Structure 1
Amino acid sequence: MSIQNLAAYKFVQLDDLPALRARIAERCAALALKGTILLAPEGINLFLAGPRAATGAFMDWLRQDPRFAGLAPKVSLSDAAPFGRMRVRLKREIITMRHATIRPEGGRAPAVDAATLRRWLDAGRDDAGREVLLLDTRNDYETDVGLFEGAVDYRLRRFTEFPAAVAADRARYVGKTVVSYCTGGIRCEKAVLHMQALGIEHVFQLDGGILKYLEDTDGAHWRGDCFVFDGRGAVDARLAPAASPPPSAEPAAQAACADGAETAA
């Protein structure tokens, strides 16, 4: 498979959005990349596809900006680029929650890495002996394709429904260690900050989301495929295009971007 697919995000304060958009769009065009990049005052959210040399050159260029120096993408491969063209969009939020008090660019939410979560799930407890409860922050059509066994699934139609759903269900999480997850980490990071604001203790995001978990582990405790917002529709536990993907996800990705919502992350 000759095409490298990169998914990455970073919450960081950005105040030069039009000029930054122009520079990024010019660089993507020069490298013939395809995909979607969202820019907002709170940061960057990207999904890019192209030959390894081109995606590598873009990331090297982007990391020259100190604000993006630590940007670490999740990587998967495909035979063809799963996007039809390149879009660089300006938005109010890189993931729409509509809660102005949640400011992840001011500090990261607590996170647990893939290997640690795998160990906790094997044991059924975290290192402090608390029961571990997984919380899926994705939309219902994504969880229909695959999810962690036993995860809480609120059957969300969009991420903006999450704050009310979890606020009405706070009693479920008392005394437990909660690990929220999503495709690449962006939604579950905002979710954790909101849950902390509600007074829920012992809550973490899965660092890097499902994609990083599948990349770094054998996929234990995951069931099904992982929906992705591009032409592949879904990837399997080896991060290869799914054998039986759902209908093409690229229209969903573009509709989400038009609404200032999520892309692949």
Structure 2
Amino acid sequence: MVLNIAVYHFAPIAEPTALRELLFERCTQAALRGSVLVAPEGLNLFLAGTEAGIESVLDFVRGVPGFAELRVKRSWSTHVPFARLKVRCKREIIAFRRDDCVPRARRAPALSPQQLRDWIERGQDDAGRRLVLVDTRNREEMLYGSFENAVELPIDNFTELPAALEPLKESLADAAVVSFCTGGIRCEKAALWMQEAGFANVWQLDGGILDYFEQVGGFGYRGECFVFDERVALKPDLSPRLDAEVTVPVDPLAHKRPHAA
């Protein structure tokens, strides 16, 4: 079986190009495929290969200053769902273009998957406020599945989120607002932006949909979760929609596909 990981971590990187070269070398030596983004704000990794190879690269990353506390999302497949290895430097590990929304010294309050399950079951938070879930992914990803009754924004790129959310601020003033995404990276930035923009009672789903699937399953969720590789989407038990050898890469979002978690 092939181990697939999704990892992101915000920590300052003084020399992204140098780290990019080291990561490319380590991933190549471990025969891994997938994609890695290196930016001054942190790292974003989607990798697949043998368990030993994956762990060797994770050990290296944990040795980089600021990256000891990695949170790794793991799933398994019968084949490597990436055609090749790509390790690139970018301005951001997820493009948002708002320098005041980088989760370093602070982050918005995080809600664990189990806490969210409890809130969904009750329809309200611990203070009795009605629960509103906000999907921070793009509209193509939402077609594969989302939390039931979540606010689904008509966006194609993450940079469009503030303009789409701003008109909802007044109507959400009395609600417990929980942002979520695939692996947590987008809802981290989105929740910070909502706080800065004056939204009240904002949380983020810690670890995103993938951690929710791993810890809770599919309670309150309909469908599958789109992922950024040839598996296309994962079911709530983290099994892939496509779990067979793929001869032609499946890329339903090739025309505008984001790199996110």
| TM, length-normalised to structure 2 | 0.94
The match for 2:142 is 143
Counting helix residues as a fraction of each chain, which structure ranks higher? 1
Write the distance in 2 (CA, Å) between the matches of 1:253 and 1:212: 26
Quick check: 1:31–1:58 contact (8 Å CA) kept in 2?
Answer: yes
1:254 is displaced (CA, Å) by: 9.8
Task: Give deviations 1:179-234, integer Å, cap 9, x for gaps.
Answer: 00000000000000110011111101100000000000131000001100101111
The match for 2:222 is 223
1:76 is displaced (CA, Å) by: 0.6
Letter in 2 for 1:6: I
Indicate how the Cα distance of structure 1 residues 137 and 244 shifts in structure 2: closer, same or farther if over 3 A, else same: farther
| TM, length-normalised to structure 1 | 0.92
Identity of counterpart residues, as a percentage?
Answer: 46
Which segment drifts farther, 62-71 or 77-86?
Answer: 62-71
Quick check: 1:229–1:249 contact (8 Å CA) kept in 2?
Answer: no
Write the distance in 2 (CA, Å) between the matches of 1:206 and 1:218: 14
Q: Which runs of 5+ in 2 are unaligned?
A: none
CA RMSD of aligned residues (A): 1.9
The match for 1:77 is 76
1:249 is displaced (CA, Å) by: 5.2
Quick check: 2:231–2:243 contact (8 Å CA) kept in 1?
Answer: no
1:167-182 equivalences under 5 Å are: 167-182=166-181
SS in structure 1 at match of 2:66 = helix
The match for 2:200 is 201
Write the distance in 2 (CA, Å) between the matches of 1:254 and 1:231: 15
Letter in 2 for 1:15: A
- Paired residue total: 258
Which segment drifts farther, 231-240 or 100-109?
Answer: 100-109
Write the distance in 1 (CA, Å) between the matches of 2:151 and 2:8: 24
The match for 2:259 is 262
1:76-155 equivalences under 5 Å are: 76-155=75-154
Letter in 1 for 2:76: L
1:255 is displaced (CA, Å) by: 6.0
Quick check: 1:12–1:106 contact (8 Å CA) kept in 2?
Answer: no
Write the distance in 1 (CA, Å) between the matches of 2:256 and 2:34: 14
SS in structure 2 at match of 1:9 = strand
SS in structure 1 at match of 2:20 = helix
Quick check: 2:194–2:202 contact (8 Å CA) kept in 1?
Answer: yes
Letter in 1 for 2:180: Y
Quick check: 2:231–2:242 contact (8 Å CA) kept in 1?
Answer: no
